[in-house]
Amino acid sequence: MPKMKTKKSLKRRIKVTGTGKLMHFREGRRHLMSGKRAKRRRKLRRAKEVPEHYYKQYMQMLSPSL
């Protein structure tokens, strides 16, 4: 059986914290920022934790790189 490869697209989007949480940056920051309210732009700066029901799937995709 061949080696399992890391999903590079997911590896670029997800960061694993020291405690094992998966963090990702929010969508909606690429363009048209002037039309968004300041409060919304501030919130978009922050990273967000990946929902729990994705953990098993994402860890399996990232497993070779960890």
pLDDT of residue 14: 93
User: pLDDT category, 65, cuts 50, 70, 90?
Assistant: confident
**Does 2 have pLDDT greater than 90?**
no
Overall fold of domain 8-65:
Factor Xa Inhibitor (4.10.410)
Domain ranges of the chain: 8-65
pTM of the model: 0.75
Res 51 pLDDT > 90: yes
Residue 48, strand partner residues: 24
Give the number of other Cβ atoms within 10 Å of residue 41's Cβ: 13
Give the angle 17-47-42 at the CA atoms, nearest 5°. Answer: 150
How many whole angstroms separate alpha carbon 46 and alpha carbon 48?
Answer: 6
